[in-house]
Amino acid sequence: MTPKGVSQLTKPEGMLTWRDLEIGSIVVEPGNASQYQTGDWRSERPIFDTNKCIKCGICYIFCPEGCVEQNAEGYFEADLFYCKGCGICARECWTKAITMVPEEE
Amino acid sequence: MAKRIGIEVSLAIAEAAKLADVDVVAAYPITPQTHIVEHLAELVANGELDAAYIPVESEHSAMSACLGASAAGARTFTATAGQGLELMHEVLYVASSMQLPVVMAVANRALSAPLSVWGDHSDVMAVRDTGWIQLFVENGQEAVDNVLCAFRIGEDPRVLLPVMIHLDGFHLTHMIEPLLFPEQSQVDKFIPPYQHPMPLHPDRPVTMGAFAPPIIYFETKKAQEVNLEAAKEVILQCWDNFGKTFQRYYSPVECYRSEDARVLLLTMGSFSETAMTAIDKMRGEGREVGLLRLRLWRPFPFDEIRQAVGNAEVLIVLDRALSFGGPGGPVCSEVRSALYSEDKRPKVIGFVGGLGGRDITPAGFEEIVDRGIEISQKGSDQEFEIFGVRE
């Protein structure tokens, strides 16, 4: 699923033929990297334990993908469309509130 | 009226870039290209050429700066040689893949080690597959003419590809020749203004050279191959138009006394002129020999080669580069491959000679032809012959 507020590609990359490409394979839609699902690189996903979370936001600061956001209740969660499962948030979390779980579990 | 001026070929190339009214030159000096970029720096410093001259710290940076300039819509020129071309290597692919029509003169030079500043085609062959249009010139006039053509071809909206003009280091770059320079007004008419359809501009943001995962990368390469192949038609049209305008005609494969020749020699670059002298002498002796000069190296002119070879029985190809441990010279290898599927094809005999500035005289070319004919009749235990090395 594409995250809210991100438009679908006019044509998914897998549907484009070589004839559909712009000159020099130029990308003409500004900011369309947001449509790229980096989440499918993931082998482990972060599970956030709200009982341990102190809402400090260190996970938000350290996330190299910029995919950790604060929800309405003030807890943090990763957007799995983008999360590559690097585990930096889990390593940095002071209260060990984040656990990396293999995708197949 | 065009003016005839006695001038060093390197300076003439700089003057041709000035006639093309380049906007940006980014270059790093290297022998034997130095005089080209020195003269361009001079023209800019003297206010004779309204362009940005970017002195950079390496050839890698030179080509990178050229990419940026061309992507922003500037007419861009540079020049290099030998080791400099190799240092540019990875950026060359980016220029062609992003369809940025940079024009570059390459003063062909041998590669280290041992260090050599003298000419051969080793540097060219290492960048053979970079996706650039590549032309060879034999003399100063061809160099001037083809610098002008290169801008028109590369910047054509149907093409948008970078162009290399190969000229032999020293043997050609450092000659002083009487050359015709067209009038500025004629050049202005011949080369329309460069307009990249989607240049880098804040009003219309685009991404060039984006990330391409396996799902799309291969499509981009097919598009690139089709585009480079299609460029041949535009190159032919440009040379035709140039001929009609300036009365000097160019073609992908130049034939010299090749009609009805039973034996053909094939060369690239300035050595072709020496080979012509040898052909004249042999023709004078009643021998049925002729010469083909390969001008268009990429896109490779398959049809023209097949047509030019015609009914010849022996084709002797001289390479000025060595593919170590391979079939000898890359030119011979490609020509042989282009002819292989023909029902009637000549025996193709490969020679490698003239490395690192080693000269081949007219007598040398006669020797090559004689030895080539001998091999065609008696065969050889070598894949190719090395000519001109002391045994």
CATH number of the domain encompassing residue B359: 3.40.50.920
* B96-111 residue pLDDT tens: 999 999 999 999 999 9
State the pLDDT confidence band at A11, using cuts at 50, 70 and 90.
Answer: confident
CATH number of the domain residue A90 falls in? 3.30.70.20
Q: In a 10 Å sphere around its CB, with 0-12 CB exposed, 13-18 middle and 19+ buried, how is residue B180 labelled?
A: middle
Measured CB to CB, residues of chain A less than 8 Å from chain B are 13-14, 16-28, 30, 32, 36
How far does the CA of residue B223 sit from the closest CA of chain A (Å)? 5
**CB-CB neighbors (< 8 A) of B216 in chain A:** 13-14, 16
Distances A12 to A1, A16, A38, A80, B215 between C-alpha atoms, Å: 13, 7, 15, 19, 10
CATH number of the domain residue B145 falls in? 3.40.50.970
The residue segments making up the domain with residue A17 are 13-102
Confirm whether A4 is domain-assigned: no
Q: In a 10 Å sphere around its CB, with 0-12 CB exposed, 13-18 middle and 19+ buried, how is residue B313 labelled?
A: middle
The residue segments making up the domain with residue B58 are 3-246
CB B28 within 8 Å of CB B58: yes
Contact A18 B206 (CB under 8 A): no
Helix, strand, or coil (residue B289): strand
From B203, B225, B246, give the residue that closes a domain. B246
Q: Are residues B225 and B325 in the same domain?
A: no
Q: Are residues B373 and B297 in the same domain?
A: yes
Confirm whether A21 is domain-assigned: yes
Confirm whether A78 is domain-assigned: yes
Confirm whether B391 is domain-assigned: no
In angstroms, the CA B123 to CA B105 distance is 13
Confirm whether B168 is domain-assigned: yes
Q: What is the mean pLDDT of residues B335-363?
A: 97
Q: Are residues B233 and B265 in the same domain?
A: no
From B190, B221, B246, give the residue that closes a domain. B246
Which tokens is B389 given? 């090395």
- Predicted pLDDT of residue B255: 98
Q: Are residues B364 and B240 in the same domain?
A: no
**CB-CB neighbors (< 8 A) of A34 in chain B:** none
* Structural domains of chain B, count: 2
Contact B213 A17 (CB under 8 A): no
Q: Are residues B230 and B294 in the same domain?
A: no
Pairs of residues, one from chain A and one from chain B, whose beta carbons lie less than 8 Å apart: 51
Pick from B93, B160, B204, B216 the residue to mutate for testing the A interface (most A CBs within 10 Å).
B216
Measured CB to CB, residues of chain B less than 8 Å from chain A are 97-100, 160, 197-198, 205-208, 210-213, 215-216, 219-220, 222-223, 226
- Predicted pLDDT of residue A6: 54
In angstroms, the CA B365 to CA B387 distance is 10
Average pLDDT, chain B: 97
State the pLDDT confidence band at A30, using cuts at 50, 70 and 90.
Answer: confident
Q: What is the mean pLDDT of residues B275-286?
A: 98
* Structural domains of chain A, count: 1
From B216, B246, B276, give the residue that closes a domain. B246
Residue B355: φ, ψ to 5° = -80, 145
Which tokens is B317 given? 């190809």
Q: Which residue of B has its CA nearest to A23?
A: B99
Q: What is the mean pLDDT of residues B114-126?
A: 98
Confirm whether B103 is domain-assigned: yes
Confirm whether A27 is domain-assigned: yes
In angstroms, the CA A55 to CA B259 distance is 86
**CB-CB neighbors (< 8 A) of B98 in chain A:** 24-26
State the pLDDT confidence band at A61, using cuts at 50, 70 and 90.
Answer: very high
Say if residue A43's pLDDT is above 70.
yes
* B247-272 residue pLDDT tens: 999 999 999 999 999 999 999 999 99
Nearest 5 degrees, angle CA A44-CA A47-CA A51?
A: 160
Q: Are residues B259 and B218 in the same domain?
A: no
State the pLDDT confidence band at A9, using cuts at 50, 70 and 90.
Answer: low
Say if residue A10's pLDDT is above 70.
no
Confirm whether A37 is domain-assigned: yes
Least CB-CB distance to A27: which of B197, B206, B226?
B206
Say if residue B3's pLDDT is above 90.
no
